[in-house]
Amino acid sequence: MISEEKHEELNEEMEARLWAYIDGIAAPQELSAIEGLIATQAAWRARYHELLHLHEALGSLELEEPSLRFTRNVMEEIARAQIAPAANKYINNRIIWGIALFFILSFLGFLVYGFAQLDWSAAADSKGTLGINFEKVDYSRMFNNDLLNIVMMTNVILALMLLDRYLSKKKHALRGS
């Protein structure tokens, strides 16, 4: 004896599988399985016909119609309008890549500077990876310059803002709004 919750779950699964079958999006093996269930089980057959009737009713859906003046109103308005140039013509990709390169080089520059502050000779160890015992490296000297840290964080924030604007413009261009 199955609980009401389990019964509900089974019903939902049956409907989901039948809809996938009716919509034609079920995988080939699933299609055969569902055809078998419809052929052999009364509950599946009944639910299938119920959903198919709804599907056919939705297929007969009528579209709403606007007023007869609709097209004329639109054409009168566009006679005054102009087609805007394509978005990719005023988002100059070379400038975007140039700015991106500047930020990438800045970050790399900071990293190189940071690593250059470390005393590598104190951590030299012939047994270590690349001749260095990384556990002995004093990392506290890396980026211990407050001004440099502020400039780096400002760079990070500016880069993220630029990325957000670029992606937002692209999204608007694609969605046409």
Among 163, 65, 155, smallest CA distance to 105 is for 155
Please give the size of the binding site for another protein, defined by CB under 8 A. Answer: 38
From residue 67, give the alpha-carbon distance in Å to each of 60, 70, 71, 72, 94.
22, 5, 9, 10, 47
Contact range with another protein by CB under 8 A, out of 31-39, 67-75, 105-113, 156-164: 67-75
Q: Work out whether 168 is an interface residue with another protein (CB under 8 A).
A: no
Smaller CB distance to another protein: residue 66 or 116? 66
Nearer to another protein, 65 or 146 (CB): 65
CA distance 51 to 22: 8
Contact yes or no for 143/149 (Cβ under 8 A): yes
Does position 5 bind another protein by CB under 8 A? no
CA angle 127, 128, 133 (to 5 degrees): 125
Of 6, 9, 13, 25, the one binding another protein by CB under 8 A? 25
Span 81-100, contacts to another protein by CB under 8 A: 81-87
Applying CB under 8 A, which residues contact another protein? 15-16, 19, 25, 51, 53-54, 57-67, 70-71, 73-75, 77-79, 81-87, 173-177
